[in-house]
Structure 1
Amino acid sequence: MPMPDPSAPPRSLDAWLERLDATSLPISDRQREQLHRELRRGDRPLRIIAQRLQTCPALTLALLREANRHAPGPLGSDSEHLESALVRLGLSRAATILQELPERNATTLPPALIQLLLISQHAQHQAAGLFATRMARLEGEILCASLLFLAPFWALAQAFPDLLQRWEARVIGEHQPARTVEQDLFGVPLVELGQALARRWRLPEAVILSYQALGQERDALIRCLRLARRPGTHPLQRLQDEDSEQLRWLTRPSHSALFANALALAAHSAWDDARSLRWQRLTALYLDLPLARVQTQTHGLAADSARLLPAGPAWHPAQALLWPAGCRRPPPPEPPSLLSSFFRPEQWSRLCERFSQQPSAFANLPHLLASAAQALELCGLQRFALLCTDRQGQLIALHQQGLPPRTPRLKADPGHWPLLPQLIAQSVLVHVSPQRNAGLCRKLPPAIREQFDGRHMVMRGFDLGGRNGLVLFGDQHGMPFSDRQLELLEKTARVIERGTLAFGRRGAPATAAAVPPAP
């Protein structure tokens, strides 16, 4: 079996927690110096110092995590806001934590991280205007929880910058089911990952309860969304009369963090689509205010947020308030995989040399296919199957990799599916994408079609002479292929094809075979 690639994204919840727990968010040297000056202002009240430090999300997260890491007692004794964390840590320890944060120029941060930090700051501003003024006693908790709600995904954007961009391109841009995309990209639902990491980091309780509302308590949230669509005035009074338990659930103060972030995230795509309207209605129900008033207030708060935040490369939804109704900001296109993220030229060349040896270096067919699988994995294929013809002319999978553990061995009858013998006869790489061969997947057997993402996949036949043939189907969890990656896959396939033919001719006179240069 090939060794797991340490640079590849994790696929299980435990692996994600370990990886993201070890990820530190950087700050710029200029920002570090400004924050050090704030910490040295001992004449200022701690509340004011906390407000100034909270302008740096990375430091806010680091201080809360450190304060609660060694907190005595159960989770209920944790610091729920930054002022409480500073009381527990002291300004000297806070300055040490600030100094330990890694340094990186703000212009070199991953764009996905820059954008997420802006969304979190926008959400905090929405929370300040919509909720904190109405629940002044909980102002610190509301503002801190609203800022840190997306903190688990700050670490994700820092460690794997392209994954969230892929999620946005597919879920927002192409309207694919979020759960399916998340399984492809992350191996776990994002809500589950966010909640688990919030618990591990002991983030404010409002953050954990917000993820709980999106996960385990989703049915209660859906009931409230439906109620928010009902016409009439004073809906909370009606809810008190009809279902007082549902009213208590809805009016939890912790929901302010969820609603503020939902409004900011929805506005990131559009102000007037169904997603934004859904959360605007729910916020209006929560506050017992008319929908039009909530919409006006959220628009004004967005404009204030854009004025207060420093100008940068990130998109702020306040810009879209000037657009005509119905205009949308298209999500960025899904980027192709970078060859450098998975390709190891030395390993690839050694495998190619093994296939080029005469006589064949392989003892049996499983040995050959295991080496072929290693070579294909080095080309970026994350899910693939190699099907070979048996004595009856049927195609049957001799190697499957990356498919769900209980997936039965793939089989296909070339006599019923004309595309399969065509692939074997042509022996060239076929690339399927929305722009190229888009309808080809419909010509595959259902058992194969269901295992791969028909938007971005590759298939190739190998003509081994006579009735023998080998067919490859593969994808990378729906991610696009770059031109260089397709070139690498075709080179690798040709090497495998020559090596397999040589294996079948064991005992024949040896002939030299050239190893192609690594890209």
Structure 2
Amino acid sequence: MPDRLRLTDPLSSLDAWVDAFARAEIPVLAETAEALEQMRATEDDVDAHGLGELIATDPLMTLKVLAHANELKRGRSAGLMADPETVTAALVLMGITPFFRDFGPQPTLEAVLADHEEAQLGLSRVMQRAERASRFALGFAAHRADPDAAVIHSAALLHDFAEMLLWVHAPDLALQVAALQDADRSLRSAVAQRQVLGVTLTELEQALMKRWHLPELLTRITGDKHERDPQVRCVHLAVRLARHTARGWDDAAVPDDLHDIAELLNLGEAHALKLLHEFD
């Protein structure tokens, strides 16, 4: 069984962080857990598409399913089948009955953080931002007629999963990072993270994706390297915009975001802005 983890002090190395997070139980949204139990009761009526749509609204449940499916694939004839890059593909690989067998009643974020209201709020902000970023990214990909639109949606949804896990497994440390940035608005996230944690969340996330053998395409698109790659730019710009507009569209960074998004979509800025409001 996975561990219930609650860290109060930073760990000694990136490997130590990866080991701790990889072993830890990952809770999901209470509404996801409840909906899964309703589906379990009528399992014969459930198909991969409907179940996939439910799971793909929850970043941490998405992460769990993709990690599990890719572990399964490694245990089978790995070279003969493609990596499952979306939740629906993962469910098709697993099968509905084995999914419900392997994923029993899910622990919930609300229960795990019941004693930590500030962490609940911090986590909620990250998850809402991820949901908006995934909508923007899917809109960009669809506009560009990208055949990997579903993977781009997943990549944007998962882009900040290490930050979500930090709020779950080390909420006091997550609050220290947030406090540093609140005190100095010009402080870069990576600098604040390294100061408190000894590692950056991007390093931790990429290492966890490798540990869980997540698909190369998903790992590449979720990272911020290869930023000239249009698929990476779809995700990077969607995440940037979701971050900058979390409290409204009047942030000073939004005009730069708009310029870059208009360029990506090959549109004028006025048309691009209209499209963004439709996506939102």
Report the TM-score when normalising by structure 1.
0.46
Matched, 1:99 2:99: no
User: What amino acid is aligned across from residue 35 of structure 1 in structure 2?
Assistant: L
**d(CA) in 1 for partners of 2:139 and 2:187?**
33
Q: CA 1:168/1:274 → structure 2, altered by over 3 Å: closer, same or farther? A: farther
Displacement, 1:50? 1.1
Q: Which consecutive residues of structure 2, in runs of 5 or more, have no partner in the other structure? A: 1-5
Distance in 1 between the 2:199 and 2:164 partners?
17
Q: Distance in 2 between matches of 1:188 and 1:33?
A: 35
1:80-91, aligned counterparts within 5 Å? Answer: 80-91=85-96
Q: What do the CA deviations read for 1:238-295 (whole angstroms, capped 9, x no partner)?
A: xxxxxxxxxxx432x2432222222212222553334333333222211111222222
| Matching of residues 46-57 of structure 1 within 5 Å | 46-57=48-59
Classify 1:9/1:200 alpha carbon distance in 2 versus 1 (closer, same or farther; 3 Å): same
Establish whether residue 271 from structure 1 lines up as the match of residue 276 from structure 2.
no
Percent of counterpart pairs with the same letter? 25
Contact map agreement 2:129 2:242 (CA 8 A) in 1: yes
2:165 to 125, 150, 155: 155
Task: Assess, with a 3 A threshold, how the Cα gap between structure 1 residues 128 and 179 changes in structure 2: closer, same or farther.
Answer: closer
**Residue pair 2:7, 2:170 contacting (<8 A) in 1 also:** no
Output aligned runs, 1:461-500, within 5 Å.
none
Q: Does 1:299 align with 2:274?
A: no
Distance 1:145 1:51, change over 3 A: same
**Letter aligned with residue 206 of structure 2:** Q
CA contact (8 A) 1:206 1:254 kept: no
Q: Per the alignment, in what secondary structure is the counterpart of residue 259 of structure 1?
A: helix
1:8 match: 9
Match of 1:235 in 2: none
Structure 2 counterpart of 1:119: 129
Q: 1:13 to 1:264 in 2, by over 3 A?
A: same
- In structure 2, which of residues 58, 61, 72 is the aligned counterpart of residue 59 of structure 1? 61
SS at match of 2:147: helix
The Cα shift of 1:165 comes to 3.6
After TM superposition, which residue ranges in structure 1, 4 or more long, deviate above 6 angstroms? none
- Unaligned 5+ segments in structure 1 are 222-248, 303-519
How far apart are the structure 2 equivalents of 1:278 and 1:199? 32
Does the CA contact (< 8 Å) of 1:38 and 1:53 recur in 2?
Answer: no
Given candidates 212, 235, 240, the residue that maps to 1:257 is 235
Residue in structure 1 matched with residue 3 of structure 2 by the alignment:
none
| Alignment partners' CA distance in 2, 1:179 and 1:57 | 22
- Kept in 2: contact 1:38–1:52 (CA 8 A): no
Contact 1:120 1:149 in 2 (8 A): yes
Would you say the 8 A contact 1:145–1:206 is kept in 2?
no
Q: SS at 2:270's partner residue? A: helix
Once residues 170 and 48 of structure 2 are traced to their aligned partners in structure 1, the CA distance between those partners, rounded to angstroms, is: 36
Counterpart code for 2:22: D
The 3 A distance-change label for structure 1 pair 203 and 272 is farther
Q: Tell me, in whole angstroms, the C-alpha distance in 1 between the residues paired with 2:202 and 2:10.
A: 17
Matches within 5 A, 1:327-342: none
Query: Aligned to 1:144, which of 151, 154, 157?
Result: 154
Q: Quick one: which of 262, 275, 289 aligns to 2:267?
A: 289
- Counterpart-to-counterpart distance in 2, 1:16 and 1:113: 19
Partner letter of residue 66 of structure 1? H
Offset of residue 25 of structure 1: 2.6
Match of 2:25 in 1: 24
Compare the two structures and name the one with the higher helix fraction: 2
How high is the TM-score relative to the length of structure 2?
A: 0.80
Partner of 1:213: 224
Deviations 1:96-132 (A, max 9, x none): 3432532454683732222211111111222233323
Check 1:284–1:165 CA distance in 2 against 1; reply closer, same or farther (3 A cut): farther
The total of aligned residue pairs comes to 264
Q: Distance in 1 between matches of 2:135 and 2:109?
A: 26
CA contact (8 A) 2:136 2:276 kept: yes
Q: Deviations over 1:386-417 (max 9, x none)?
A: xxxxxxxxxxxxxxxxxxxxxxxxxxxxxxxx
* Equivalent pair of 2:156/2:222 in contact (CA under 8 Å): no
- 1:122-150 Cα offsets, whole Å, 9 max, x none, are 11222233323543632322222221222
Range 260-269 or range 80-89, more displaced: 260-269
> Are residues 204 and 260 of structure 1, via their aligned partners in 2, closer, same or farther at CA, if it must alter by over 3 Å?
farther
Give the Å deviation of 1:86.
0.3
Tell me the alpha carbon deviations over residues 183-225 of structure 1, each in whole angstroms, 9 at most, x when there is no partner: 21111233222222222223343442245434xx5xxx4xxxx
| CA shift in 2, pair 1:23/1:277, >3 Å | farther
Partner of 2:187: 176
Q: Highest CA radius of gyration, 1 or 2?
A: 1
Q: Is the 8 A contact 1:266 1:276 kept in 2?
A: yes
1:483 is matched with which residue?
Answer: none
Q: Which has the higher strand share?
A: 1
Answer yes or no: is the 8 Å Cα contact 1:132–1:142 preserved in 2: no
Counterpart residue identity of residue 191, structure 2: T
Q: CA deviation at 1:28?
A: 5.9
Matches for 1:241-390 after TM superposition, within 5 Å: 249-251=228-230, 253-268=231-246, 271-302=249-280
Deviation at 1:81, TM superposition (A): 0.2
Structure 2 residue matching 1:208: 3-state secondary structure: helix
Q: What amino acid maps onto 2:224 in structure 1?
A: A
CA contact 1:183–1:189 (8 Å) conserved in 2: yes
Partners of 1:189 and 1:30 in 2: CA distance: 30
